[in-house]
Structure 1
Amino acid sequence: MAVSLKDVAQAAGVSIKTVSNVVNDYPFVSDATRSRVQTVISQMGYRPNLSARRLRKGRSGLIALSLPEIAAPYFAELADEVVAAAEPRGITVLIDKTGGQRGHEQVAASGIRDNLVDGTIASPLAMTAADVDTLGRIHPLVLLGERLALVTVDHVAIDSVSAARAATKHLIDIGRRVVAVIGTGEDISKTGRLRLHGYEEALADAGLPQDPTLHGDARWFHRPDGYAAMNELLRTRPDIDGVFCFNDLLAIGALRALREAGRQVPDDVAVVGFDDVEECMYTAPPLTSVSPDKRAVAETAVDLLIQRMDGTGPTQPREVFPPYRLVVRESTAG
């Protein structure tokens, strides 16, 4: 049978109210009493009744982090940071993989089943702005990423235009003049369009031509897509001496294609990625990458969501751009 508050109180020789105060971490309990009660709780294996607590407080203590995929290193690292940001705030994070499917994203953004969670941090691929506006009125919601803009919920994003411009400028500054880009295509995402815009701005600033033959199409932002796009670029534009990839997985695939083609990095072709996942330090050569402050993204998103859950945020939605930096490694520095 489940251990109750009453059982713990009897074993510890205190009142049920005192046990409740310890469980809920209320301050007005002496250190000695708190220690005794916590010891009994551990010994008896007491677990709080979350359903009852939710009825009393109107809260579950749970939030959802809705991501299109978990295997991608960027999302895995971001999830780790969100969990780390939520834990000291007394919040548990449920991670929901949507596969970029609109229906799954809508379920997560509406509180999952039976409003299981108190709020959701979502990085959507398929939801529309109308979806977000509707769901944000019935459930606390914070968006991540650049795929949707001008929505009526709080939004945490990287300034992809500025970051892509900085990445491309770095390639130009080290003397590259035939700079390709990988991540374009007919189905280019909002994020991809912003990064393409930053790339084009850097070319324009340097007086270099806009050349569509330097665009490497990639349907997805995974390693095989970067590998295939780099091989095609090498076939059609063998004069390439630099390449900016819209994420690190594309860049890692590009590095493999360059190595197989006998092109030295960075002597023949310099490569820059985006996201600065841990794998960048262990590629051959280590990959230069735009490094978003993932910790700041996570902490900002969690704080904004808590304010929406508490009803303490401003009426107008907020758009926050945490900082980024360019981490230069051997794929451009030699």
Structure 2
Amino acid sequence: MGASLKDVAARAGVSVKTVSNVVNGYTYVTPHTREKVERALAELDYRPNLSARNLRRGRTGVIALALPELDAPYFAELSRFVIDAAAERGWTVLIDQTDGLAHREREVLQGIREQLIDGLIFSPLTIGREELAARTDNTPLVLLGERILDGPTHHVAIDNQRAAREVTEHLISLGHTRIGAIGAQENPSANTAHLRLAGYREALRAAGLPYDERLVPPTGSYHRADGAALMRRLLELDEPPQAVFCFNDLLALGALRTALSSGLRVPEDLALAGFDDIEDGRYSTPTLTTVSPDKGQIARTAVELLSAQLGSVKRAGRRAAGGSEPEHREAREVEADYRLIVRESTVRP
């Protein structure tokens, strides 16, 4: 058994309440008393019982993060930021992989783990506004990604359409007039792909360049192999592209491999840009021009919105116990920052 607050209080010669104040970071403790208590805590190697503390607060201290693919570098990097932001609040993060499958996303949405978690951060690929509105689980929820915009719950995302337009405008500014795109999807639920395609088309239209469907082959997934195969198709055209915008960095890395193995120089013969700013792109040869979403900001904002909901639930519970109406707050759409990072795959240093 570890040391208790009572043991620490006896060692320091103070009350249990004073020890509790020090452990919980309350400021109204004199420096001398705080020093005694902290010394006793260290001597007894005191470890707080987080389970008991959370039980008293009506909390588990655990939140869930549900993502489509854990082996996708973007989601892996985002997970780390969420874990760091949650740790600052003393929360543990339970990570779930849905594989983007509709039935698994519905299970997550309907709260199969509602007794285990205090809140959920969820990046869906298939469920829509109707399913979200029909949700019966009351677990606080924050959405990521673009599957559900202007929905009935808090949502954090970047402006994908504007970002895609900016990276396409960058390629146009280099003098390229025949620009391909890898990442378009025919699935009507693929909102991210649709928004990035819309931004690409906006940039072409603004520059007076035609939209050529042959330069935009559709793909079912966003992996390296898909980028490699689609780049091969583009290079087989009678008039191959001078530049290619890939809708994520994995597609771009696969495309880069095909271009280089075909004897092309990047960017001299073919300029190439991606999206997501994963670590691999910073160390590829050449390094990859990309759109860099602020993953840290996305994660911190999602955790903050979840924390605010948990506070609202607690206050609403107190008011309901007193006979008043629970508190309701409007859902917030939060737009996170991003920036275009120009590297060697489009501009030689």
TM value normalised by structure 2: 0.86
Work out whether residues 185 and 218 of structure 2, in 8 Å CA contact, stay in contact via their aligned partners in 1. Answer: yes
Q: How far did residue 319 of structure 1 move? A: 0.9
Structure 2 residue identity aligned to 1:325 = R
SS at match of 1:184: coil
Aligned-partner Cα distance in 2 for 1:315–1:92: 26
Matched, 1:329 2:330: no
In the alignment, residue 176 of structure 2 is paired with which amino acid?
A: R
After superposition, give the CA deviation of every residue in 1:58-117 in whole Å (9 maximum; x if it has no partner): 233332222222222211222222233333344443333333234544454456634322
* Root mean square deviation, CA, Å: 2.4
Partner of 1:96: 96
2:224 and 2:162 mapped to 1: Cα distance? 24
Question: What is aligned with 2:227?
Answer: 226
Letter in 2 for 1:236: L
SS at match of 2:54: helix
Residue equivalent to 1:204: 205
Matched, 1:53 2:67: no
Q: Secondary structure at the match of 1:65?
A: strand
- Percent of aligned pairs sharing the same letter: 51
Quote the offset at 1:7 in angstroms. 3.3
CA contact (8 A) 1:86 1:93 kept: yes
Secondary structure class of the residue paired with 2:235: helix
- Range with greater deviation from structure 2 (87-96 or 62-71): 87-96
Instruction: Give the deviation of 1:21 after TM superposition.
Output: 2.3
SS at match of 2:228: helix
**TM-fit CA distance, 1:43:** 4.6
Letter in 2 for 1:191: T
1:302, CA displacement in angstroms? 1.9
Q: For residues 121 and 14 of structure 1, do their structure 2 counterparts lie closer, same or farther at Cα, with a shift above 3 Å needed?
A: same
Residue 121 of structure 2 aligns to a residue whose secondary structure is: strand
Cα offset, 1:214, TM superposition: 0.6
Q: 1:237 to 1:148 in 2, by over 3 A?
A: farther
Aligned AA for 1:301? A
**One-letter amino acid of the structure 2 residue matched with residue 68 of structure 1:** P
| CA distance, structure 1, for counterparts of residue 266 and residue 179 of structure 2 | 14
Residues 264-308 of structure 1 show CA distances to partners (whole Å, capped at 9, x for unaligned) of 111111001011122222111111101112222222222222222
Instruction: Write the distance in 1 (CA, Å) between the matches of 2:202 and 2:336.
Output: 21
Task: Tell me the amino acid that sits aligned with residue 203 of structure 1.
Answer: L
Q: Which amino acid aligns with 1:122?
A: F
Matched, 1:246 2:260: no
SS of residue paired to 1:71: coil
1:159 Cα offset (Å):
0.7
Secondary structure of 1:177 counterpart: coil
SS of the residue aligned with 1:115?
coil
TM-score (norm 1): 0.90
Which has the higher mean CA deviation after the structures are superposed, 175-184 or 27-36? 27-36
* 1:274 paired residue number: 275
Counterparts of 2:148 and 2:43, CA distance in 1? 50
> After TM superposition, which residue ranges in structure 1, 4 or more long, deviate above 6 angstroms?
none
User: Hey, what's the Cα distance between the residues in 1 that align with 2:162 and 2:245?
Assistant: 14
